């Protein structure tokens, strides 16, 4: 349930409690092993209360991912692609580095229940941003798919590696390496397709 700020204070506290409990469980175990029963117990609510706001855990996860995507899209809404690809990479890393452990687990997971929802989030970001690009729209559909997948996988893979390494490398070095990989690949791909 997306909060508007006009809900009763008890509703706001309940939703907040559900989110905090869910984030804690995401950090502790695989998504498939999280149950509504244990989430409700951790949030100190009744299972019926959970179902009043969310039909399933998938709906809660989708809402959480949508919130992440919405906040990130605000940061890149005026970017133009491919021109602002480097700015976008920097924004992604800076935004992601500010998030919590649950975000990292969802974003970095390569198997399990988070992959599908992460894919939806990525599509929600990539399609509207790249969809406005003149150069991108001149490509055949299969080439568009290749380009989007390359950009998506490069950014996510480098971020995942950085997280797996304990975020030890300076973020600016990681960003610069990612931009070099991504920008070179995208520029060469678009030149090849003119």
State the pLDDT at residue 11. Answer: 83
Buried/exposed code over 155-180 (b: 16+ C-beta within 10 A; e: otherwise): bbebbeebbeeeeeeeeeebbeebbe
Calculate the average pLDDT of the chain.
87
State the pLDDT at residue 6. Answer: 52
Q: Confidence band (pLDDT; 50, 70, 90) for 77?
A: confident
Give percent of the chain above pLDDT 70.
92
CATH code given to domain 9-55? 1.10.10
Residue 144: closest CA among 89, 88, 81, 50? 81
Q: How far apart are CA 64 and CA 15, in angstroms?
A: 12
Residue 193: closest CA among 136, 151, 149? 136
Q: Give residue-wise pLDDT tens across range 150-165.
A: 998 899 899 999 999 9
Fold category of 59-192 in CATH = Tetracycline Repressor; domain 2 (1.10.357)
Query: Mean pLDDT throughout 173-188?
Result: 95
Residue 59: closest CA among 39, 86, 44, 80? 39
Q: Give residue-wise pLDDT tens across range 81-129.
A: 899 999 999 999 999 999 999 988 888 776 566 766 667 777 777 777 8
Domain positions in the chain: 9-55, 59-192
Tokens of 77: 């809404």
């Amino acid at each position: 349930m997306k909060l508007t700020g006009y809900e009763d204070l008890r509703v706001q506290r309940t939703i907040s409690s559900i989110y905090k409990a869910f984030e804690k469980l995401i950090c502790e175990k695989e998504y498939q092993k999280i149950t509504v029963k244990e989430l409700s117990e951790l949030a100190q609510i009744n299972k019926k209360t959970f179902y009043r706001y969310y039909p399933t855990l998938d709906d809660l996860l989708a809402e959480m991912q949508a919130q992440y995507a919405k906040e990130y899209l605000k940061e890149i809404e005026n970017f133009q692609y491919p021109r602002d690809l480097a700015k976008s990479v920097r924004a992604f890393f800076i935004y992601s580095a500010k998030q919590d452990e649950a975000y990292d687990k969802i974003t970095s997971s390569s198997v399990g229940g988070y992959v599908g929802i992460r894919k939806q989030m990525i599509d929600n970001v990539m399609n509207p941003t790249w969809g406005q690009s003149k150069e991108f729209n001149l490509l055949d559909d299969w080439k568009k798919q290749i380009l989007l997948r390359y950009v998506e996988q490069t950014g996510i893979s480098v971020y995942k590696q950085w997280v797996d390494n304990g975020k030890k490398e300076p973020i600016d070095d990681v960003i610069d390496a990612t931009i070099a990989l991504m920008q070179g690949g995208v520029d060469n791909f678009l030149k090849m397709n003119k």
